Structure 1
Amino acid sequence: MEFKMYVNQLPEASGVYCITNTLNGKRYIGFSTNIRRRVREHFSRLSSRNPEYYYPGHKDFINDWNISNNYFSVEILELTEDKSQEEYWIRYYKSYIKEHGYNISIGTRISEQAKEKLRGHPATKGFSGRKHTDETIQKMIQSHTGRKHNEATKAKISESLRKFWEHRSKEEARLKVLGSKNPRAKLNESKVKAIKKLLKLGFSCKDIADMYEVHETTIKDIKFCKHWKHVEL
């Protein structure tokens, strides 16, 4: 399926998305209040004549896109309004490591190396430390005071909100399916009980993850009762 087709199937909702290069498994993970619009921007900018302008520091991402953009796919990792979840998924997939992904930072925290690449770039020129004057702020406030949407805009907003709540209710229903009843679960109750016993005995999360062939984060989520809370020893 072409990348454009993936974009058209995305909701206009808030959440964390993942763009994956299916040839090498590298991922770019991001957060947006409107996933479809944001991913469409990625497609447009990466396909432009000067993608480096929009993506300073993302040389590998741009090169791989130019070579094989038909092999990129996109999926929703989580529908949420919590931007901190972006950092969770970046850490989960280790997409901030060059071998695993295209993110140059972990969420909103940018490394010193990435900052150095961004300094002096045309896309950021003139914005470093820039502040609006009181006069400009007042003009901005006045321009939006008493502003009314026309009927067409109201209809678009209403439709976007309807889709958002529809997707959110589906996601909440999915999350209510606990344990092995969840089709995405890689573990079951008996395995989780055994994992909790191993944790109690002092085994490391990494060793247990290797035993059960799951990600270390999965074991940590069990350890700190983020998931599988209903399973007791």
Structure 2
Amino acid sequence: MTETASSAADRRWILIVEDDEDIRSLLSKYLSDNGFKVMLARDGRQMDEVLASEPVDLIVLDINLPDEDGFSICMRLRNSGSPPLIMLTARGEDTDRILGIELGADDYLVKPFVPRELLARIGAVLRRTAPDLESSQKMSAYRFSGFLLDSSTRRLLGPTGVRVILTSAEFDLLLTLCRNPGKIFSRDELKASSTTERSVDILISRLRQKIENDPRDPTLIQTIRSMGYTFTAKVSVH
């Protein structure tokens, strides 16, 4: 096991949801050999049983499943606040990749792929979604327009105190904006919370749906023509 893989794994639990037994076994062995603890499910029903009984750090989800397709599973997981999620599919069309991102996937990998690529993507997603030590030692609650964004618990509370469910990528993007109010970000600068310029636009649209009074006429996340986006809210740090 490489040093990079070992540090990324840190004995994290990975749930593989895949109906192909050969692929399931291959990925289970490879990730186990690289320091992860692995649980397996062949369909949505088994996945639900695992999630109800065990804590999971990341889900690897195949789209083509026998009972419920991965897009539907991704949507309901995100509505309930799931762990980070990487989607696997034999489809390579941009529309499927964009749909997966729109529904809340943190990353998207097209079959066939080499296990090492999945390992690298898992490590990247876990590093991006895990609170770093430096941040956890600082005041990390950001208040804006009645919302409270807590980087230590990775939660967003609305003005009434009710939790607003965010995907990992949505949270990372909003955290970046809260830490830099008034700064104009290009799409390229915001790719750390996404994968492509188009994905940034999708994430911005989803965030607006969740924090703007009128997403069609946004006042918090504003588009700066030919430049990118800026967060205009007054932010206080606690």
Global fold match (TM > 0.5): no
Q: Which has more helix, going by share of residues?
A: 1
* TM-score band, normalised by shorter chain: under 0.3
Higher relative contact order (CA 8 A, sep 6+): 1
TM-score under structure 1 length normalisation: 0.25
